Chains A and B, each alone.
Chain A
Amino acid sequence: MGLLRKMLLLCMFAGMAGTMPAALAVDVVKPAEKTEKKEAPRDIVLKGDAKCTTCHDEADSPELLAIGKTRHGVRADKRGPECTSCHGESAKHIAYKGSDKPPKPDRTFGKKSANTAEERDQACMSCHKGGNRMQWVGSQHESQDVGCTSCHKVHTRHDKARDRATQTETCFSCHKEQRTESLRTSHHPIPEGKISCSSCHNPHGSSGPKMLNTATVNETCYTCHAEKRGPFLWEHPPASDNCSNCHTPHGSSIASLLKYRQPFLCASCHIAGGHSTTGIRSGQDLGPLVTPGATSTTAASQMVGKACTNCHTQVHGSNHPSGPRFAR
């Protein structure tokens, strides 16, 4: 019996002893009790974030902690930010002891932020002012109060604006015409997610037209369409001048992203150069299609198929000695 009692007493001791680490463990996992124990709060993600995560913890604001999944959340990178790097020291916000809503942090980024776009951008530009963002100040977006966080999400691993497959969701929220055009039958592979707006444009500002990545329209186009760069022996003036003379880049109901349908596009500049009927097409040009029952071969080769380019194939320029008419 004595042995049994001793064993049971040992069990009780062990049981009581067992509660000790549990009690200590409580201190680790229950931040609310941490302050009661007067221990320094611990950072969760960013350096010095304890002053924020004491309240904005996994229960209060789990979405904020996702910054740990981003590059901003890599503490080993000494350039990494603290919460206050972006939101300011926010002393009043932190010191507030009341039970109602505390004063807002010095800098917020939500829809109802009291900060100006410039103030919000300053949070990002303090680190990201080089490289492609060098021309941000005074750029089209900046001057329209479209700030960094109008497009970018910081507290999420997947920033839609930085993924070419999802970037248009961000851009099209303002650029509705381009959204419509991208749904037309002829378009760049934007809806398919193979290229994005930033493949051609620099939304952070550029010296090129329409915020293009390069100085001219043609230079941007040649990035992917280098075969059209030349120099050619026989240059086609509108093509050398500006690709957008004939093409509309965001989408068209006409093949090859053309602004106007051939032969009318060509007839904008060529009325009678060897084809005396190019300026005004007559219905006979489609042959039997518009003359039901007719069997004659009246369809003009300048109208059917690829129209003018059935023969004048080299409209971007020809390097063939016999190519001044762009048929070789």
Chain B
Amino acid sequence: MKRANEKCFGFSILAASIAAIGFAAPLAWAAEADASAEEIKRLTRPDSEVEIGIGNASTGSFKFGDYGRGLEKSGGFLIGNIRMNGRSESNANYLEIVGRNLGLDGARDIRITGGEQGNYGLSIEYDELSKLHSDSFQTPYAGMGSTRLTQPAGWAGSIDVTPGGVINPPVAATIVNTTMMTRLAANMKRFDVETMRKGAGLSLTKLISGGWEVAVNFKREEKDGARLTGAPLQIGGGGSRGTLLVPEPINYTTDLFDALARYSGEKLQMQVAYHASLFSNANKSLVFDNLFYNAASTVGGNQLTGRLGQMPDNQFHQLKASGGYTLSQQTRLTGNLSFGRMTQNEAFLPYISTTGILPAPPVASLDGKINTTHADIKLHSKLSQTIKLTAGYKYDDRDNRTAVNRYAYDPADNTSAASYANAVNSQYVRKNSPLSKTQQVIYVDADFHVAKVTTLKLGFDYDHVKHTNEPTAGDKEATVKVEVKHKFSDIASGGVAYAYSNRNALDYNGSGPLNATYTAGYLSTQCVAPNTFLYNGIVTACVGVASATSKATFPFLDTPALRKFFLADRTRDKLNAFANIAPSEKLDLQLGASYYNEKYPDTAAGFGLTRATGWTANFDANLAATDKISGVFFASVGDYKTDQNGHNGASSATSPVITTLDRQNNTVAFDPLTGVTNRTARSQTLGLGIRVKPGGKYEWGGDFSHSTTTASTGFRDIGLRIAATVLPLPDELSRLSRLELFGKYRLKKDVALNMKYVFEQYRSTDWGYDGQTLTSSASFVGTGQTGPKYTVHVIGASLVYNFK
């Protein structure tokens, strides 16, 4: 019985085992099948990710938090990122959501895209961008952030103008300077100067049969906040003014609209589009009280306010067409054509805020109109296996159709008409001078594969520009280019490129266009009788009376030998060189250098920018040490220099006398008042990064970057008359160091922990603000700002959930 039972039991064990194998095998293989299918799904199906966490910034700094980092305040913040991809397995429907920095004001953005691929698509997006100008700005005004800035309580009458008094040095009581503002320091108030852009957009695309596609985009962007602007006022007669920086409230709305249809065929592709950009500003002006008022002033008054015009509403509409046609397998023709119109018709503000002093402007609004035209055509052809040729022509025209009128004006608001009469010989009557420009470019580029490993490129550009109402009617610039690239071996290649440009301006008349905006009556006073000058083609007599220093034979308002750098003759050399070396599969090295030298030969004999030169060099190394460890290193150095000829003072009665005629003709006698300002900027940048992915549950990495720029101002060849007063200026420095470490630990298959640490330090000096007090300048009220400096530590921890 026992044996029978044992036999039976043994059989049973065997049978059960077979049964178990029988059940387990399909389960195991099914499990393997599931795992494999799951693996394939993991590899081929789009996944989604949600990240949620918290972080903390050790210190608040506008400079650190600038541009949407959203970390201008110390303390905790939320980390929120999302990336969702939904895609049907059975059809082409899709839905994607990408949201970044959702927990950070001024940094967040989200985009939702959906549709049926190959049929239609719809996209909605929202974006924030903050610009943090200053968190150390101060001003005495009340009402900051609004369009009306008022004196602080008790300011009126507080100006101490006691001649010889403690505060007021013995100066004319009619000219107020900042030291007379007895309530200035007590009334300075902080105001955060910042703007925020919020944009929302909607896009729709639809594919139509036959290779056509249509798309419509609309985006509205609102920009709110404040930026710093100047608020100058008259504080005395003539040109004496006082100013201070104030927050100008920003309330802009820009609507962008695009509608297009495009066709894509085998040989022909083309697109027609309409673009509109509509800008509107809710604020029309900024009004500010006169802080420089005193009862003894001959001009200005307690009730005087300044009024600054803000950016006017404007519109731009454009029709565009572009196309490309493949003429043959070797040759392709492309071209673009567009017509645009910029318009602006904002109602004019009165000349000054004090009514009854000056007449109304000749028209109520500008009715400004500029037509733009662009056309280009490009032909590219592969002439042979070794030669490629590209040639083209471009035409750009800006035709300013705005009406020209004369306007009497006041440089800054005043209560006195004495100096600003609308008289024929007043310097305060001018006409506007709409600027038009036509530019045509032809170019030819040829590539020669002179050997399998060597390429030679030759190019030529010819640029012809015409202007209106500029000192020169135009210029012509020719550029020749040559470049050689060579592959030395499988692991090394390099190249060098050189370009030379020569721009020649047509006859340069530095006085002409500026003079043309003034009246003949005023200009006639700027030169001495019995000389004459041409005004609108009419010979006009000079009426100025010659004196020891005033002897100009024709009128000029800025030094005639001055050349504007963007219009003047110029030669330019540009040189670039690079080398790429890959000594192993794992290491890439890149070296590069560039140099440019711009000379303004005509200016060198006169005034203005005479030379701009610079060079940079960089080294990069990319290392993929193993599949699990990679790193990058880069370093760049650069040096930029400019020379600028200038002069200090216009004439001098001190023997030997320097006259306006000396200045007019830039004679040797003028040299004692001239000199050269040279600016230098040196920069060094280096970076280092490492990524480690051991393949287990964790990965980590880090980046370090350091950037330093030092700018210096120097003077040389300073004239004898001014040598004693020209003192060196301090350097300006900016230095940014940043270390970022991050790690990722996979807690579960679909859940990971992200850790992040950031150290950032910034140092800067700026002599425009550093060391300046509220009253360092007699006519400029200090703002209390200094060059930004900060040291910030940021830590963050977040959970990332990954799902299909």
List residues of chain A with CB under 8 Å of any chain B CB. Answer: 1, 4-5, 8-9, 11-12, 14-23, 25-26, 28-29, 44-45, 58, 62, 65-69, 71, 73-74, 76-79, 129-131, 134-135, 137-138, 143, 157, 165, 173, 176-177, 179-180, 183-185, 189, 192-194, 207, 215-216, 219, 222-224, 226-235, 237-238, 240-242, 245, 253-254, 260-261, 264, 267-274, 276-284, 286-291, 297-301, 303-307, 309-314, 318-325, 327-328
Contacts and interface: CB of A to CB of B under 8 A. Distances in A.
A227 B282 CA distance: 12
B683 to A, nearest CB: 7
B91 interface: yes
Question: Sorted from nearest, which 6 A-B pairs have the closest CB atoms?
Answer: A283-B727, A15-B22, A279-B646, A68-B44, A130-B264, A138-B380
Given A322-B351, A324-B517, A228 B311 contact: yes
Contacts of A323: 309, 409
B351 to A, nearest CB: 5
B87 interface: yes
Contacts of B762: 185
A313 B709 contact: no
Given A25-B29, A134-B323, A321-B407, A261 B316 contact: no
Given A180-B618, A237-B470, A230 B47 contact: no
B324 A253 contact: no
Contacts of B594: 177
Contacts of A20: 26
Nearest to A322: B409
Nearest to B412: A327
A253 B301 CA distance: 41
Nearest to B231: A313
Interface string B178-206: 11000000000000000000000000000
A173 B254 CA distance: 34
B782 interface: yes
B729 A65 contact: no
A135 B780 contact: no
12 contacts: A19-B22, A22-B28, A68-B43, A69-B85, A134-B324, A137-B380, A261-B713, A276-B649, A277-B648, A301-B243, A309-B230, A324-B517
Interface in B263-293: 263-264, 269-271, 277, 279, 281
Which of A76, A290, A306: most chain B Cβ within 10 A? Answer: A76
Among A71, A298, A307, A310: residue with most chain B CB under 10 A: A310
Nearest to A308: B230
A82 to B, nearest CB: 15
B625 interface: no
Contact of A313 (B21, B127, B308, B771): B308
B155 interface: no
B502 interface: no
Interface in B636-669: 636, 638, 642, 644-650, 663
Contacts of B338: 215
Contact of B607 (A22, A62, A279, A318): A279
Contact of A180 (B562, B683, B773): B683
Interface in B311-334: 311-312, 314, 316, 322-324, 332, 334
Contacts of A313: 229-230, 308
Nearest to B223: A227
B166 interface: no
A3 B464 CA distance: 106
A253 B535 CA distance: 44
A13 B36 CA distance: 28
Contacts of B254: 226-227
Nearest to B787: A185
B129 interface: yes
B309 A19 contact: no
B352 A280 contact: no
Contact of B230 (A1, A274, A279, A312): A312
B683 A134 contact: no
Q: Give the size range of B's interface with the partner.
A: 35 or more
Given A235-B433, A280-B718, A322-B409, A297 B179 contact: yes
Contacts of B435: 235, 237, 240-241
A93 B537 CA distance: 81
B46 A69 contact: yes
A23 to B, nearest CB: 8
B780 A325 contact: no
Contacts of A45: 44
B675 interface: yes
A310 B241 CA distance: 11
Interface string B555-596: 001110010111000000000000000000000001010100
A185 to B, nearest CB: 4
A320 to B, nearest CB: 3
Nearest to B780: A301
B24 to A, nearest CB: 8
Given A15-B22, A328-B307, A271 B558 contact: yes
Nearest to A57: B40
A292 to B, nearest CB: 10
A92 B677 CA distance: 70
Interface string B594-609: 1000000000000111
Interface stretch (B50-58, B362-370, B744-752): B362-370
A231 B434 contact: yes
Which of A11, A138, A238, A289 is the most central at the interface, judged by chain B CB atoms within 10 Å of its CB?
A: A138
B779 A301 contact: yes
B650 A11 contact: no
B756 interface: no
A304 B29 contact: no
Contact of B314 (A76, A192, A207, A231): A231
Given A192-B67, A286-B729, A134 B269 contact: yes
A195 to B, nearest CB: 8
Interface string B82-97: 0001011011101000
A238 B618 contact: no
A273 to B, nearest CB: 5
A323 B127 CA distance: 35
A159 B376 CA distance: 32
Contact of A282 (B213, B309, B645, B648): B648
B151 interface: no
B252 to A, nearest CB: 6
B287 to A, nearest CB: 12
A289 B36 CA distance: 74
Contacts of B20: 15
Contacts of B398: 240
A268 B777 contact: no
A62 B43 CA distance: 7
B236 interface: no
B559 A226 contact: no
Of B36, B244, B316, B768, most buried by chain A (CB within 10 Å of CB) is B768
Contacts of B707: 180, 183-184
A307 B766 CA distance: 12
B85 A297 contact: no
B429 to A, nearest CB: 10
Contacts of A78: 118
Contacts of A71: 117
Interface stretch (B11-19, B523-531, B543-551): B11-19
A290 B12 contact: no
Contacts of B410: 322
Contacts of A272: 558-559, 647, 650, 663
A280 B715 contact: yes
Interface in B32-63: 32-33, 36-37, 39-40, 43-47
A222 B254 CA distance: 10
